[in-house]
Amino acid sequence: MKKILLSIALFTAVIGCKAPKSINTPTIDRTVVNLDLLNIKDDKVKVTIDPEKFTTQTVSFHIPKTVPGTYSIDNYGRLIDNFKAIDYLGAELLVVKTDANSWKIDNAANLDKITYLVNDTFDIDGEKGVFSPAGTNIEKDKNILLNLHGFVGYFDDLKEKPYQIIINRPKDLFGSTSLKLSESVDFEKAPNSKKDVYLAQRYFDVVDNPIMYSKPDTTYVNVEGIKVLLSVYSPNKIHTAKSIKPQIQKMIAAQKRFLGKIDNTSNYSILLYLAEPEKLDAKGFGALEHHTSTVVILPETMPLEALNSAMTDVVSHEFFHILTPLNVHAEEIHYFDYNNPKMSQHLWMYEGVTEYFANLFQVNQGLIDNQDFYKRVSDQIESSKNYNDSLSFTYMSKNVLDEPYKDEYYNVYQKGALIGMALDIRLRELSKGKTGILDLMKKLSEKYGKNNPFKDDQLISTIVSLTYPEIQTFFDNYVTGSTPIPYDQFFEKVGVTLATEEAPTSFFLDGQVPYIDGNPENMKLFFRKGITLNSFLKKLGVQNGDVIKEINGTSYTIQNVYDLIMGSQSWTEGDEVSMLLERDDEEVLLTGKITVPTTQKTTIKEMELPVTDMRVKLRNAWLKN
């Protein structure tokens, strides 16, 4: 998963298949699911689930509480209405709802099928807290985004058995997915409609394969032995698959070259949903990974250049998830319990190393230069300072669903990536430049792979056995242990220095990084917790977490945040300023004068060294090998 701060996304916005045979729907050996996209009422889709015959007295049906990659409890059962269990004579069976996501059905031996209505998340205020790339959209005849975990559930004993998914849909809405389409034929019961049939080997594959139905705007990118489907939904036709294709092509080619032989994925789908920020629409920007696809949500208002750069950062991150967790993961992930999830200790690897690679491949393949790469690293160092730097990363990871560790999650993209970098530098040092973390990930994916999980508490000893005994100390100190990483010592090894200096910044933005963010659940703007405020905000008395009500008498929310940013550009030193804030449920009025905002900047620079110096050799091995 990769989350982009709402404000980053908004501010950058400123600046066919024919099959002659008929469909048979066997009622044994598989769960047959039907989604009716033809008769959508009030943004609700009717779902019918026809399982094999049960022999037990009762049976339970579940919709996921959480899904892999989101690291949050979302209770998708909240989206289900009008749940009915029907027997073979058409009568309703007794159903008891046992928790937010589970239903217990009596007389299971007589159960023919269950039916229910599914509501979507995008147009609900706050999206019920579901991160949009894991959410659902039902907009009749326009766009239906099927993150199938929001639509399809499982019976206890049938989770590992095949699913047949039948989707009745309007003829002009095309389904984009990596899921295998076994048939697509005219649907005889309604005009201008089609019936698509997909097969999934087990429930995991249902969840792992989102489908986006929309008017076709798709293209294929064939590069370095991989076929990538790019499907774009741009409601106002601002962007097209064709306009985004060149950047995707360049990026995937660079990623494949960077990965070398590790990756053997032959098909991949990028499902891009562009949201309208000013409407009740998806507000959580970023993406969620799957084995052979990703759902990406970004604002439609982004200019092409910004969209291309966001796609590069986000999609490359998702694509690198092919390495981990998809090919290297713990049992906790492999035998994922959708309703009683157990977390693995290794978010430093799943999200951190993935994010590190998403930056490293760009400098390695020449998409950005060394200095751009250092800038990203120094931004990560700065952001990570706003989280608990003395917290064991493995302990945080194991407990990330619970308070207070939940609030540390965003640090996986900061400190998690920095752990990856420090480990990479240490491995380069120990191997005299020969191998780094990519080689380690390659060995791990050869050892484990998609179908062979590791035991959570044995990963580190395995890594040590595949590399150097000294690596145990690295993990003891900086990953399982609570010692902050001495970045300057690691940089010294590769001939770069870390320095801090006071530098000018903007009132609400530090470069591309905003001091404020918006809460999509209530539209309110607030000063982010994960950032050191600039000198102006500090002097005025602003604290991290303060909610903005009014500035100079004008109310601001997500809706008009753009006006606030643009307006502040003409603020003049010495002018009066007032901010009405909400802090711990109380109003606070701050008044003062405008001062020039400055902030402490971490800068990374290369030492002037002869090319024969070992540190220069290690640096080149680190960034260019």
3 state SS of 342: coil
Q: 347 or 590, CB closer to Zn ion? A: 347
Q: 438 or 542, CB closer to Zn ion? A: 438
User: In angstroms, what is the minimal distance from the CB of 509 to Zn ion?
Assistant: 24
Asked whether position 322 contacts Zn ion by CB under 5 A, the answer is: no
State the CB neighbour count (10 A cutoff) for residue 101.
22
Contacts of 169 (CB under 8 A, 6+ apart): 37, 38, 144, 175, 193, 194, 195, 196, 213
DSSP character string of 539-580: HHT--TTPEEEEETTEE--GGGHHHHHHHHTT--TT-EEEEE
Q: 6 or 561, CB closer to Zn ion? A: 6
User: In angstroms, what is the minimal distance from the CB of 352 to Zn ion?
Assistant: 9
Stretch that binds Zn ion, among 350-358, 371-379, 461-469, 509-517 (CB under 5 A): 350-358
Q: How far apart are CA 76 and CA 79, in angstroms?
A: 6
User: In angstroms, what is the minimal distance from the CB of 372 to Zn ion?
Assistant: 21
Q: 313 or 429, CB closer to Zn ion? A: 313
Stretch that binds Zn ion, among 210-218, 263-271, 348-356, 548-556 (CB under 5 A): 348-356
Helix (H) or strand (E) holding 218: strand 218-223
In terms of Cβ atoms closer than 10 Å to its own Cβ (0-12, 13-18, 19+), residue 102 is middle
Stretch that binds Zn ion, among 86-94, 236-244, 344-352, 596-604 (CB under 5 A): 344-352
Q: 351 or 517, CB closer to Zn ion? A: 351
User: In angstroms, what is the minimal distance from the CB of 293 to Zn ion?
Assistant: 14
* SS3 readout for 347-413: HHHHHHHHHHHHHHHHHHCCCCCHHHHHHHHHHHHHHHCCCCCCCCHHHHHHCCCCCCHHHHHHHHH
User: In angstroms, what is the minimal distance from the CB of 134 to Zn ion?
Assistant: 12
Q: 437 or 540, CB closer to Zn ion? A: 437
User: In angstroms, what is the minimal distance from the CB of 354 to Zn ion?
Assistant: 5
Helix (H) or strand (E) holding 204: helix 203-207
Residue nearest to Zn ion (CB): 1
Q: How far apart are CA 77 and CA 474, in angstroms?
A: 42
User: In angstroms, what is the minimal distance from the CB of 285 to Zn ion?
Assistant: 14
Q: How many residues bind Zn ion (CB under 5 A)?
A: 3
Stretch that binds Zn ion, among 27-35, 340-348, 349-357, 428-436 (CB under 5 A): 349-357
3 state SS of 453: coil
User: In angstroms, what is the minimal distance from the CB of 289 to Zn ion?
Assistant: 6
Q: What are phi and psi of 443, to 5 degrees?
A: -65, -40
Q: 217 or 351, CB closer to Zn ion? A: 351
Stretch that binds Zn ion, among 2-10, 55-63, 523-531, 554-562 (CB under 5 A): 2-10
User: In angstroms, what is the minimal distance from the CB of 437 to Zn ion?
Assistant: 16
Q: 35 or 326, CB closer to Zn ion? A: 326
Q: 50 or 351, CB closer to Zn ion? A: 351
User: In angstroms, what is the minimal distance from the CB of 94 to Zn ion?
Assistant: 42
C-beta of residue 55 within 8 angstroms of C-beta of residue 385: no
Q: 117 or 315, CB closer to Zn ion? A: 315
C-beta of residue 228 within 8 angstroms of C-beta of residue 271: no
State the CB neighbour count (10 A cutoff) for residue 285.
27
User: In angstroms, what is the minimal distance from the CB of 412 to Zn ion?
Assistant: 8
Asked whether position 315 contacts Zn ion by CB under 5 A, the answer is: no
**Where do the DSSP E strands lie in 441-493?**
none
Asked whether position 1 contacts Zn ion by CB under 5 A, the answer is: yes
Q: What angle do CA 353, 210, 352 make, to 5 degrees?
A: 10
- Tokens standing for 561? 């945040």
Q: 351 or 510, CB closer to Zn ion? A: 351
What residue ranges bind Zn ion (CB under 5 A)? 1-2, 351
